[in-house]
Amino acid sequence: MTKKVIMLVCSAGMSTSMLVTKMQDAAKAKNLDSEIFAVSASDADNHIKNKKIDILLLGPQVRFMEKQFKEKLTPLGIPVAVINMSDYGMMNGANVLTDAEKLIKEYERGR
């Protein structure tokens, strides 16, 4: 399996840092080759332009940006989803990672 790049977007890029760590731990436990990182909403476009990402996950606090990101990324074959609020609140990195993997696979099958 090729390396998967997962970008999380939140208001300032800070509140998702703990979730990123939990997701990285879950990826390591699964032997999943991945790069998982968080950015602020204001910096997301720069990362999209300069890095090949496999999925963009939005923190619940910026869910209002979902349509905007889907309009940009769906034509590129990059899924966009809002992180489940319960998993976000509980910092359940394993569940968020599993959801991301499922979405990536669905998009890859659809290509």
**HSE on the CB side for 43, CA within 13 Å?**
14
Which residue of the set 10, 38, 58, 97 is catalytic? 10
| Residues sharing a CB contact under 8 Å with residue 72, sequence separation 6 or more, in sequence order | 48
Sheet bearing 4-10, strands edge to edge: 34-40, 4-10, 55-58, 80-82
Residue 10 annotated in active site: yes
Query: What phi, psi does 30 have (nearest 5°)?
Result: -95, 0
Catalytic residues: 10
